Each structure stands twice: as C-alpha cells, then as structure tokens.
Structure 1
Amino acid sequence: MSQLPIETVLDDLFQGITKRDRLIVKAPPGAGKSTRLPLALLERDLVAGKILMLEPRRLAARNIANYLASQRGESLGETVGLRVRGESRTSKQTRLEVVTEGVLTRMVQDDPELDGVSLIIFDEFHERSIQADVSLALVLDVQQGLRDDLKVMLMSATLDDDALLSLLPDAAVITSEGRCHPVTYDYMPVSRQRGIGSPSYESLVAAEVSKLMLAQSGSALVFLPGVAEIKRTADELKTRVSEDVLICPLYGQLSPKEQQQAIAPCESGKRKIVLATNIAETSLTIEGIRLVVDSGLERVARFNRKTGITRLETVQIARSSAIQRAGRAGRIEAGHCLRLYGEDNFQRMRAVPEPEIVTSDLTSTVLELAQWGATPDELLWLDSPPELHWTQASALLVQLGLLQENQTLTAMGRAAHAFGTEPRLAAMLAFAKKCDDKAAQSTACWLAAWSEEPLRGFREPDLAKHLVAVSRQKGNQARRARYFAEKLGCSLSSDMAFYWLPVLASVAWPDRVAKARGNDGRYQLSNGHGAELEPDHPMTGADYLVVADLMTVKQGNSKIFVAAELDISELENERSELFTDFEWVDWDDNKGRIIAERQRRLGRLVVDKTAIASPDQSRITDALLSAVRRKGLSSLSWNTKSESLLTRARCAMNWCIGPDLPDISDDGLLAQLETWLAPFMVSVTRWSQMNKIDLNAALEAYIGWEAAKDIDRLLPETYKVPTGSGYRIRYQVGQKPVLAVRMQEVFGEATSPTIADGKVTLVLELLSPAQRPLQITQDLAGFWQGAYREVQKEMKGRYPKHVWPDDPANHVATNKTKRHFKQ
C-alpha cells in the first residue's frame, strides 16, 4: 500500500483539505486515488463528518467499497459503506460511503444541508456523465448557499485543468505522476464494414486476440463497444484458444457474481481473456492483466431532439480513453497494447470524451432542477445544458403532468420524486397510485421494472407478453417491481390488468401514441415523427398503438419493436388532459381552397374532426400566411417597384449604410409575416386574391416611411449622367451596384460616380453606341488614362461618326454623332 504513487502527494492533499474547500486531484490509473486516498483520509481523521465518494458505475462502486472495507479488516457496512440504486450497506458506524451519482443527487434533494457530511469526492470525473454534472452543480450550490464548511474534491486521470479551474478558480490542484510500467504498442486496423461472404468483425477480432495470446504471456483485456460484440467475440474465441484460457465477459448487465469472475485472479496455471465494454477503463482493477486489445470503439446514448428518441450509437473513443485503456497493460508489469485501428486514427481522435449533458435527453435533469427550485443559469456548470434540449424536455414534463408551464412542479411532480426512477415511469406510477385500482398499480410496477431493464433476446412485439415474462422471472426486474409496489402500497401480482396496460403505457409515453397512416404498418407518433412495423407484424392494421420500444434509423421512419394496441376512447376517458381541442384552418394546395376544421388532438395526432362552415377572417389570414411560409416569398406577386425596394434595403443593410432596419432576409420576412403582410390582407379570403396585395406599401410600412425615403435618397433607382439622361442602377445583394451607360455619355466625368453620400462607388458598364459592352470598371479615372486608348483605336474604325476624343475626362458628354455635336 505504501508504494502507491498517491502516497507522495498525501501531505499536500491533507494540507489542501485543511486550508481549502475545493480540491482538484489529477492522478493516472493505478496511482491509488480511489483506494489509498480514502483510507488515508479515514486514518488521519481530517474531517469531522462523513465522506461520500461518488463512482460513475455500480460495478466500480461495489468493488471499491468491498476493497476498502477489506483493507480495514472489516465487513462492508461498518466503517466503509455502499449505496447504489436498490442496495444500501451502511450502519451508524459508517464514515465513508461509496455511492453512485444518482444516489447523491437524491441525497441532496432529500437533505439540502447534507447534515453530517463533511467531504464529497467525485471520482473519475473525466467520464462526464450527466449525473456527475448535475450532482456537482447541486453540491456547489449547497456549498455556496447553505454549507460553507462542506468540502468538495474532484479526482480523475484525465481532467481538463483549464476548464475546471475556470469553474473552480479558488480550488487547490494536486497532481500525482503515477506509476506505470512500460507498454509497447502495435496497430492492426480492423474494419467493421465487411462484404458478403467475408469474415465478421468479431471473427477478425478473435483471430487477432488468439494470435496475441500465443505470442505473449499473461491475461488479456479486450475492449469492445457493446454486449452484442462481446457475446459474438466470445463464441468465436471458444474454438481458437486452449483450455487453460478462460473467456470472461464483463459488462454492466451481468450479475455481481458473473462480474466478479471476470475481475478475480485466475487459478494457478490459468490465463483469461476479459471481454469488456468501457466499464473497465477506470476504477476497476482486474488481476493478471498485461495485455490490452483496444477496438477504439464505444457505445454511447445520443438523444435525437427531432424524434425525441435516445439511440445507442457506436462511435470512436477519445484519445484520453485510448490512453487509459492502454494503461491497463502496465499496471503490474511491462505490458503490450494492440490497437485495432491505425496510428493515424489515434492522432485524429478528439482529445477528451463529449460530455453527456450536451448529447443526452434532459428530462430527468429538468425535473431535478425543478425539484431543487433553480434554473440552469443559476448553477455552475462545466458545460451548460443546451437550450433547445432543455425546452423540449420541459415540454415533455408538462405533457407528463409533472411540470407546470412556469417550470414549477405539479402535485404529481412532487409525488413522482419519491419513486426514484426516471420521469416517464414516475409519472406513470403516480397516475397508477391515483387510480385506486390494485390491479392497475401492480401492472404499473411490472411495466416500470421492465422499462428500466427490458428483456434481452426476447423477440416479441406485444408489450403484454413482455410483462408476463418478466413477472415469471427472478432477478433485478422482480426486485424493482417489489420496490415500486412498496412505494405504491399495493400487493404485487403476476396477473396483469390488460385493460390498464395501454393506458399506463400512454401515460409514460404520451409522445409515442401512434395512429395508423393506412393498413401497411406505417404510423405517425403524437410527437409528429413517423414509425413503422415490420410487414408481418401481428399488430399491423391496428388503428392506434402506444409504442414502448422503438429505434430511430438514419433515414426514414423509426422501427417499432414493442407496442400495445390502444383504444383511443379508453385513453381519453382516463387521461382527458392529454387531449386538446383546436380550430384548424389552412390552405390545401391539392384542393386549392381553405380547409377549416374543429379538431380533437393528442399531440400532433388528429383523433377526431368536424368541418367549420364559416371560419373567422383572422384564421383565414393565418392559413394563407402558413401557405406563404410553405411556398416561400417567391409565391407572392412581386413587381418591379416592390422588388427594387426590397433589394435596395437589403443592400443598405449589407453595406452598413442608412437607417436601422428589421430583419428583411427571406427567413426574417417569413418569420414576421403577421407583422408586415397580414395588415394588408384584411379582405383576402382566397389565394387568387393575394396578387392584389401592394407589397411595396407593405414593405414601406414594415421598415418605416422615413427609412424608405432614406433608402430612396441613398440608393436611388436611377442615376442621372452628365447628358441629363437617367439610367437604372442594377442592385444585387453581395455585389456592387452597376450602371450600364454609353461611353460618350460619361465623357467629362473625371472619376467614377458614387451614391450613398459618396460611400458606394458605382461599377460602370460602358457601352458602345450600339449598346454593346466595351468595358467594366469601378475606376473611371484609371480607365481614361489606360485601357481607353485601345478602345478608342477600335471604336474610331467601327463607329467613325461618333466622338472619340483624346482627353475623354475633360470632353463634353454627348449622346449624339459628330454632325449633331458640331451643330
């Protein structure tokens, strides 16, 4: 224990804890920050109250807690305790509690002053889970407002020091150099894109792993993106390695016993291959590993704001993760790392992982902050939650009945917090509690347990059959169902209330109620997104479904995997607040007329409608404006006058001259149709009447009469040349204005003409007597002195009757021939 690198900085750490309220500890894997440091704090007794240490993963939390307890010769739950979802091992003697991040958030919500807690340690903070960011924001708020004696420590192997110091400028920074044996590297790119008949990705990975095991001693840790790849690679390895090599999967869904088998030391004479997700990157110590095979991939959850669906995507890891993975090979002795990608790929990797808070569904976060009574801008964040994601999550919570429009919790929202699960399921459980129907409550418990951990490999489209299967099993789902039943105060039964199931599912997923678009399996979800069943799906043809499990695809509709058939009238009877009445008036391009209906809607689904005989003029105007938005500004009847004003006004903005103007870009005008166009549509009831609108007058009113006069003065439609003739100026946004004029008519002009009080020079398109272009210039003086000589020679021969003076800059302008000019 004394040889761990963290020992060398313990004195600095102890001083930091004594003198500062915030500390940043940077130490590479294996330095002892998760194991030695907490024990040293207990031994020194530097803090009076309890220490909470957060781990981002339950597997790491359990193993670290057990290890720390064993180092003190105690059982878990004495000095060292553990608290993760569904499991608590603490006592009155507990001074150090290892918890997961969601547990800490709940502790802070239940007791904002964190009575009895003196120090909170955020371990492996570089993983930047959304729960870690939320927990830190709340803890810092507690520290600033309620507990100035509370101490906070952030620990990681790859922290962004600059970002953290900008967030916590007064924090003490402690760095441990760590200890790592030499690691050698090989690169062997393996592509996941395979042709028909070629070996699978997992087969190629297994081949490289088996070759490595033959060439090297020791056990191997293989990082793969997900569970499916782990299982397929394990199957491929069974026939490729000798009997003394154990194949051990390691991922979060395994039982604690199965996870322990992967972590524990091998029997004498045995080696092992641990096939793991990124769960094994940090915190865990896996005995005997000196070989690492890194796929360079991980599976992350990405929220699609357009569809409202979170999708697991396989992406390239960050360089910091690749370094941490390789470091596992050098924990106990010199090791070797085989990277299944090119060295150039390693150099191109992003430096650190993308924080979850900018890519995730924020529904739980919005609910937590509503419970806390704060808005995002009132808390400290390394990365602030994206505003659009926040707005969408807030709207969903309003639809779930948990949040009011003013962002405060409803009575159901306050009750939902007690269930300790995600907002959708909490809303469903809170609704079931109000039903006062024990069968509905029991069914809700099974539905919540299934949703938290769906059955794997159970290819059944009917949600009811999933719940029946879950109710017959023992394990995490049964334990969670019992937990929810205890919260609801009901008895848990394996008999499902099938009447209630689609209603309960609709309460949890109101945005996934689906209406058939025909009888071919295509549906529209209430959030507006399209979804479809497989052609042979048994529910094809159902008028309405509520979708419990679906997946977005890169193009086209989402795929529905698990659903329940829904009677929409039953849902309306039980949850009428989900439905709204709406008067819909719009222009139908196909029918060429206004369509007016009184609609009953669920989200964007129209569940019933009746025609409106005489809609209000204001609704007709709105419908026609909606048609303009669809068709674009070009659908309006622009004439030369209105086009000229719009173009010149846009040029004025582009050249930063003239009056202040509103946004008159296409997007700006389309967004403000109600402001500038609607007042001129008072009697317009049909599209054919739109061509009567005076668009020039509408624009003048929008930008202001005085502004329009300024534009006419600064950017006139015509320019008067020395002969007295006026010629139209060609304006185009992004280019200089052009004046096309016969060359003889600008004789006597020493320099190029200007407009806008001399701020804008006209480009001259000088024409021949036959109106053909001779020269384009915005430097008339330079043209007279230079290129004009060549033009003069050619034009004298072609147009001998016209004047071609030797000194055009000082000659009288004319639009006549020599004969008329002499007279």
Structure 2
Amino acid sequence: MADRPAVPDLPDLPVVEALDALRAALIDGTSAVLVAPPGAGKTTVVPLALLDQPWLGDQRIVMLEPRRLATRAAARRMSTTTRTPIGALVGYQTRDEREITSTTRIEVVTEGVLTRRLQNDPELPGVGAVIFDEVHERNLTTDIGLALTLDSAAQLRPDLRIIAMSATPDTEGLARLLDGPVISSEGRTYPIDVRWLPRSPGRSSGAPKKGRPRPKQQRGPDRIEPDVVAAVLQALSDDEGDVLVFLPGIGEIRRTERMLQDTLGPNIDVYPLAGALTLAEQDQALAPSPPGRRRVVLSTDIAETSLTVDGVRIVIDSGLAREPRFDPRSGMTRLTTVATSRASAEQRAGRAGRTEPGTAYRLWGKLEHGTRTRHRSPEILQADLAGFALELAAWGAPDDLQFIDPPPAGALAQARDLLTNLYALDQDDQTITPLGRKMLGLPVHPRLARMIAVDQSPLACAIAALVDERDIFRGRPDDVPTDLALRVGVISGARGHDLADRGAVHRLRDRAADLARRARLPFDRGALHPDRAGAVLLLAYPDRLAALRRGAQYQLRGGSTAFLPAKDSLADEQFIVAADLDGKRDKARIRLAAAVDADDVIANFGPDITEQRTITWNTDRNDLSETIERRLGSIRLGSRTDRPAAGEATTAALLDRVRTTELRVLGWTPTAISLRERVTFLNANVGDPWPDWSVTTLLGSLDTWLGPYLPGARGRSDLEQLDLTTVLRSQLPWPEGAQLDDLAPAALALPTGRTAPIDYSGEQPTASVRVQDLFGSTTHPHAGGRPIRLELLSPADRPIQVTADLPGFWAGSWTEVRKEMAGRYPKHRWPDDPAGAAPKRMKDR
C-alpha cells in the first residue's frame, strides 16, 4: 500500500527487549504468549512492532482489550506514538464508538466486538493477527473470543497469528492451549515501599494520625471510604508525587471524592477514573498534573494493568474489587465486591514504581495478605453461563471448542436449560433458534435480550435497563418499594417519587435509549406504560412467576416460596413476577417485582398450563368427587369440584374406598351376606375348590372380582346398588359351584314344608327352628359334612334346647321338654314319639 503511513521508531520501553523473540516465534509458528509486567509497554509497542512483518502483508491487526476505557486509551497512545490521528493507522471500536477507516491497520476493540465479528464471519477476512491483551484477567468474553479464534484458525485460517499477552507469569494453561512459546519481558520497575494499614475499629472511624486533618464521617460501619481518605491524607503528607487510589466501584469513588473535596487543600485535584465516566472525565484523570499541583486519582481496577496513569508515585489499595459472580437473586451475573488476589495487589503496587521509587499503602495486614488467593479466579468458573452458552450454540460446534479452563458441566447445563425455557435453544437438539440469534445482538443478559426481542417495545428496553443497572430508588432496602411499575413511571416522566435519584434516572433513560437503538426500536418515553411492566418482565423471568398463597406469601413456579412485606403495594396482588429475590431459596424476600394479570399468564403460558385431576372421597358429601386444578408448574391457578366421569381413575378411586371401608361401603344384602358365609364355610371345612372369601382375601383381590363390574360407576350409589350376589357367584369355580346349594344350602327344609335360614357365620352352621316343625324327622340335618346346630324354639319362638343330635334329643330330653311345653301351650299337639308323629304341614293348618 503506497499510501500507508510510515511507522516511526518504537518507544524505548522494557518490552522492546522481547520483540526479536516474539517476531521469530511468529515467523516459525502462528502463536505465542508474551508475559510482561504492567508498564512494560506491551499494549503500545507490540502491535506497532508487528506491522512490518512479512506474514502480515497488507492485513490488519486486531487487538482485544477487556474494557472500553483501556480500548480508547491504547488506541490513543499508539496514535500519539505514531503521530497519526485516531482512525488512520490506529483505530478503535467499542460497544458505543467506532473510529476505524479504510486505512486503519491496527484495530483496538473490546472483547464483545471480536465475538460479534467472528459470529458474523468466522474467517475474519483481512485480519492477519489477533492479539489478546490482559488475558490474565480471565474474563469470560476473552475465553469465548480466544476459543472461537482458535477454532477459526484450525478450520479456516491456518495462517492467522494469535498472540496472548499477560501481566502475570501464570501462563501454563494458556501456553498449552495456544501450543506456542512463552516469551518473557522482565520490565523495569523501581523499588516500592509497601506500607500496611490494616483496618481496625479506630481506623474504620476514619481517624488519621495525630495532627492530621480528620475526614468527614460517612454512614455505615463497613464503609471503606473513611479508611481510604485517612490513608490519602497520610500519603500526601509523608510522600511525594501523585496518588492513585484503587476502589471497587463508582459508588465508592464518588463517596470518597466528596469526602476528599471537603478535606484537601486548594492545590490538590481529585479525579475519578472508571469505565462509566465520560471520555472527557477519563482523559482528565489520565493527564499529568500541571506544575505545582498534585492529584489524587480514584480508580477502579481499570488502572491495574490496562492503563498508564502518568506521574503516580503513591498507590493506595483498598484491597477490594468488583468481579462478576452469578447472582441467584436476579438469575444473572452481577458485579460483586471481593477481596483482591495477591497478584492483583502486586500489579497495583507496581504502578507506584514506574519511573522512580514509590510507595504503596495496603488497607489490610500482612497476615491477611498471606491468606488471599494467589491469582484472580477465572470468570468462567463462577459466573452465569447463559450468554456463554448462547454464543457456543450460535457458533455451531460447542463441544469442539478449547478453553484454558473448561466450563463447569453443571453450570453449563443449567444455562442451557434456561435458554431452552427462553426458547433461545431448540428443546430437542439444543441448536440456536431464530429468536436466540436475535438475542445475540443485544448487550444484555439473555433473559433481558429475550424480553426486548419478543416484545419489541421501548418499555422492554426501559425494564432491561432498570433490572440490569443499579436501582434508581435510594434508601434502606427494606424501605424501598418493590413495584417495578413505580420505577417505569419515574423513567417515563409520568410520575415522581421521593426515593428516586435524579442522576440515576437520567442514566437509566440513556441506557434504555441505547438498547432501543441497538434493537432498532424508537425510544419514546410516552410509550412506557407502567401497567404493562409485569407482562413484559414475564418474558425475561418466566420461571419467576409467583402466585399469592396467604398473607403476602407467594408460591413461585419452580416450587420455592417467597414473601413481601405486608405493607408493600404488591402484597395483595394475585400474580407477580419477581426479578430480584433476596435470601434463602426456600423463603426469599422479593426485592423487585411487577404485578401480572391472569390473562397475561394464560397468554404467555397457555400450552404449559395443565389440568390436574384428583379424585377423592368427599367426607362431607360421603361420596366420590373430582377436583380439577389448573396448574403452571408449582403454581395453582384455580380449581373446581364436580362429580367424576366414569373411567379408570374413577374405578380406582372407588376400589380404594372399598378397601378403606373394608367392604362395608358395598350394598350387602342378606342374600349376599349368606352367600359369602356359605362359601367361607365350605372353604374352611371342605377346602378346594371353594375360594377363601374372608375380608382380607377379598380386599387383596378387589381388582379381580369387583373391578370388572365397576365400568360406568361414578360414586357411592353405584357401589350400594351393585348386585353382590351375582358378582360373588360369578367367582365360584365351575362346575363345582353348581353344588353349592346342595353342600351348604341357604335354608333348612323342614317336614312341615317350612324352611329355616341357616347361619354360617360361626364355627358351626346354625338354624333356629320351632320344635313342632321337626316332628317326623328321624335324622339330624347336615351341611358341608357337618351337623347343623339346631336351636329349638317354643311356639312363642323362645329357646327350648340346642342340639346337634336330633334323634338323641327325641329319645332323651324330649320327655321333660314335652311336659313343660304341654303345660305352657295346652292347645298344641305334643306327641310322645315326635320322630314317628306325622308333621302338620302348612296346608293342614
């Protein structure tokens, strides 16, 4: 390219000593790992040093930075070094900015930009090298970008050079993954005096050393700001140079800034430095101090390795940082304040010894330092993997990708389950769906991306911003209302609220408008209707639908329970969707939610709503009843009770009732009772083939003998009307069953033509008979081979005698009985020889 800007001499920075080895490695191979400490100049020098390499030709170099601020700063520093404007030789691209032209040879981009490029065109046309800077930070997006780049190189671009640059020597896994040499640059640092200022009750109050100014107090016993201010005051008094303070986040930075402005003298400037600040604020913090002035730069860990802050000789390290962690409260990854690693502490301290000897104050003790982790834990091992899993699905070969640390199988499976429930992955083969591809282009968690992609409204963008960012309401957590719709109203401008932070509201509006722009939606604050907040939020949290149970207690769709304070405005809503749950899984406090109409529930989950039918015995009605309950997961949407229809379930319920009552619910007529007793008698005295019809046996075989007679039955009346005699007779063996009446007759035929029922319920069959009806009987009656026990009665049916030997009775006791009966009943005939007497038949009476 004839019009290519000339590359000037490289600046004299420590990394220059490693350039020859790096160039040689990339001529002999396609990958290398460069290790150089913070301040060695690797970010500025390496891309420029590779521009004239023959393997690069006219292709471009793409360098990844983990943060937007570092991306802009790296591009500007290279532009300054080459004396070219931004966008000419060196350009950059972040989520919000693009300064790249047709002449750009070095493109500094944020990690997500590379991932999008790879997903759109895996071949990376026109790119000769990809440099991954600050890989020691082990961001999840770096791991994804590196894995996709390596796969692209293996499948499509064998000529692509891949360089990984790290500020720490912990590169074993990285070198194995890249299969390239590790090249080290020792760097040049000056001695650093490390001073330990462990926090204590005295120092936590913000009290500086004797004779030093006292900082203004800050609420909260766990605040780090008073200790930081005390350390700043001490350092400004005892040491020379500018001060770089490391704080975990923008909230701590702003609070410390206010406290310092109330305390410091007029010749000391205080500047914040964080990715969330404007470009002008960032430039101001990075610029050297004018002569005669000192500055205090309050920074997040952005200045740990990615940036150079000129003039700094003092570092004050809070020992805290914000790292991404999976937050079960919101179901997404959130930044969490954690103690920094020992490696981070060394990198931070090194910022004080860049140009001359410096001092590092650490707000913890030596003993605690030894207990801290050696290196930062990789994000892939502790963050929510939903977005990661979606990127893998979009790539199309997720199981073939290589990572320094493979994603935990359980977390990855959980992420894929969520994506399936969000309809971003196909349920059968786990491939990405058209909806999933729409979600990929939105820079929010897949939950919120799905909400925007499906609803296609400014309201969805506003809700995504409200859930993703810090709450616009300020105050004690228990005093802040739960209702998301209140916040939507404030964002729309339709209503105000005493707890709303004006600055946060403006930032949320800007964030919502940016999301709308990326989703190609118009952003009209007038279209933010609070009454739709629940319906829209439900698209992001279908698993967080909750139904009111009692007393502000809610049942979540997944089975767990949650609660609201009784006085909360949402506490009596029938259905809500919870975006933030705080506390134990089995009983969490709902922190952010919105009300949902029943119609919205049905509209969203119609195919998933099931009817659960339960047939039970209704004790109040003393009959069978069926409860038809509509359910969505663990949520009970409603129910009705009716008489059950005939069917297998009804039959089973009726049989259960028969078991529970031990047969008593059946319609036992005297005939049926007698039949069962007769067969039971024969079973005991004759044996096979007569069946055992005891209660225990009949209960054990209900399905066999009773079940076939219940189709069509629906309740108690059907059981009571069942002809048990017919049912039981059908169970008798054939042809033996036909002999039942001969072997065990139901009644005893008497000489007079009468009959007397025989009772088989005891050990011996028994019949109660008037003695006169037995006149003419010369033998004793039997049943089943056993004599029938005869209870002899008077004409008034009063017991006279019991006998199992009628001839013996006639020959013996009858004489005395006859005398007694003749005296009592003189009008009746009492023969001397009853066995020989002619019976008085019924027709003769």
TM-score by length of 2: 0.66
Cα distance, 1:583 vs structure 2:
3.7
Q: How many percent of aligned residue pairs carry the same amino acid?
A: 37
Per-residue displacement from partner, 1:167-193 (whole Å, max 9, x unpaired)? Answer: 23x302111011111101111211599
Q: In structure 2, what is the Cα distance between the partners aligned to 1:306 and 1:150?
A: 42
Structure exhibiting the larger radius of gyration computed from Cα positions: 2
CA positional deviation for 1:72: 2.0
Alignment partner for residue 97 of structure 1, among 104, 107, 111? 107
Whether contact under 8 Å (2:243, 2:296) holds in the other structure is yes
CA offsets, 1:389-443, max 9 Å, x none? 111111111111111122112232233334454322221222124xxxxxxx232
- Give the match for residue 542 of structure 2: 510
What's the offset of the Cα at 1:288?
1.4
Q: Secondary structure at the match of 1:60?
A: helix
Q: Is the 8 A contact 2:560 2:586 kept in 1?
A: no
Q: How is 1:685-724 mapped onto 2 (pairs within 5 angstroms)? A: none
Q: Please, which of 103, 117, 131 is the counterpart of residue 141 of structure 2?
A: 131
Distance 1:485 1:277, change over 3 A: closer
Q: CA RMSD in A?
A: 3.5
Task: Name 1:328's counterpart in structure 2.
Answer: 351
Question: 1:54 touches 1:123 (CA, 8 Å); kept in 2?
Answer: yes
Are 2:194 and 2:359, in contact at CA under 8 Å, matched by a contact in 1?
Answer: yes
Quick one: distance in 1 between partners of 2:573 and 2:296?
49
Distance 2:60 2:75 in 1: 15
Q: 2:390 aligns with which of 367, 378, 389?
A: 367
Corresponding residue of 2:451: 428
Matched, 1:13 2:22: yes
Counterparts of 1:453-492 in structure 2, within 5 Å, are 453-454=469-470, 456=472, 461-470=482-491, 477-478=509-510, 481=513, 484-485=516-517, 487-488=519-520, 490=522, 492=524
Extract unaligned runs of 5+ from structure 2. Answer: 1-9, 206-218, 475-479, 494-504, 617-623, 657-698, 704-845
- 1:501: how far off? 2.8
- The counterpart of 1:447, out of the listed 463, 471, 487, is 463
Seen in structure 2, the aligned counterparts of structure 1 residues 427 and 284 have a Cα distance that, compared at 3 Å, is same
**One-letter identity of the residue aligned with 1:190:** R
**In structure 2, what is the equivalent of residue 403 of structure 1?**
425
Question: Which shifted more, 129-138 or 462-471?
Answer: 462-471
SS at match of 1:155: strand
Q: Contact between 1:463 and 1:564, CA under 8 Å: does it hold in 2?
A: yes
User: CA-to-partner distance for each residue in 1:485-532, whole Å, 9 max, x for gaps?
Assistant: 564455645332345332111101212223234234x43433444444
Q: Do 1:311 and 1:551's aligned partners in 2 also have CA atoms closer than 8 Å?
A: no
Which residue number corresponds to residue 63 of structure 1?
Answer: 73
2:211 is the alignment partner of 1:202: no
2:403 matched to 1:381? yes
Question: Residue in 2 aligned with 1:591?
Answer: none
Maintained 8 Å contact 1:582/1:601: yes
Q: 1:44 to 1:199 in 2, by over 3 A?
A: closer
Of 543, 552, 557, the residue aligned with 1:526 is: 557
Q: Is the 8 A contact 1:220 1:274 kept in 2?
A: yes
3-state DSSP of counterpart to 1:121 = strand
Amino acid at match of 1:533: L
Residue 597 of structure 2 is aligned to residue 567 of structure 1:
yes
Equivalence for 2:834: none
| Cα displacement (A) at 1:322 | 0.8
Shift of 1:447: 2.9
Aligned to 1:762: none
Matched, 1:244 2:267: yes
Question: Which structure 1 segments of 5+ residues have no match?
Answer: 434-440, 588-593, 625-680, 686-823
Q: Are 1:581 and 2:610 counterparts?
A: yes
Distance in 2, Cα, partners of 1:602 & 1:244: 65
Against the structure 1 CA distance between its residues 542 and 142, is the aligned structure 2 distance closer, same or farther, given a 3 Å change threshold? same
8 Å Cα contact 1:278-1:298 kept in structure 2: yes
Aligned residue for 2:164, secondary structure, equals strand
Q: Give the partner amino acid of 1:542.
A: E
**How many Å apart are 1:386 and its aligned residue?**
1.1
Name the count of aligned residue pairs: 610
Change (3 A) 1:258 1:442: same
Deviations 1:714-764 (A, max 9, x none): xxxxxxxxxxxxxxxxxxxxxxxxxxxxxxxxxxxxxxxxxxxxxxxxxxx
1:482 to 1:554, Cα distance in 2 relative to 1, 3 A: closer
Pick closer, same or farther for the CA change 1:197–1:519 going to 2, 3 Å: closer
User: Does structure 2 conserve the Cα–Cα contact (< 8 Å) formed by 1:586 and 1:620?
Assistant: no
TM superposition shift of 1:159: 4.1
SS in 2 for 1:248: strand
Distance in 2 between the 1:447 and 1:24 partners?
A: 42
Structure 2: how far apart are the matches of 1:682 and 1:150? 77
Contact 1:471 1:478 in 2 (8 A): no
1:19-51 per-residue CA deviation (whole Å, 9 max, x = no partner) reads 211110000001110011112222556513111
TM-score of the aligned structures, taking structure 1 as reference length: 0.68
Change (3 A) 1:125 1:546: same
Looking at structure 2, the residues matched to 287 and 569 of structure 1 have their Cα atoms a distance apart, in angstroms, of 61
Tell me what 2:412 maps to: 390
Q: Which residue of the other structure, out of 273, 278, 290, is the alignment partner of 1:267? A: 290
What SS class does the counterpart of residue 69 from structure 1 fall into? helix
Supply the distance in 2 between the matched residues of 1:484 and 1:197 (Cα, whole angstroms).
38
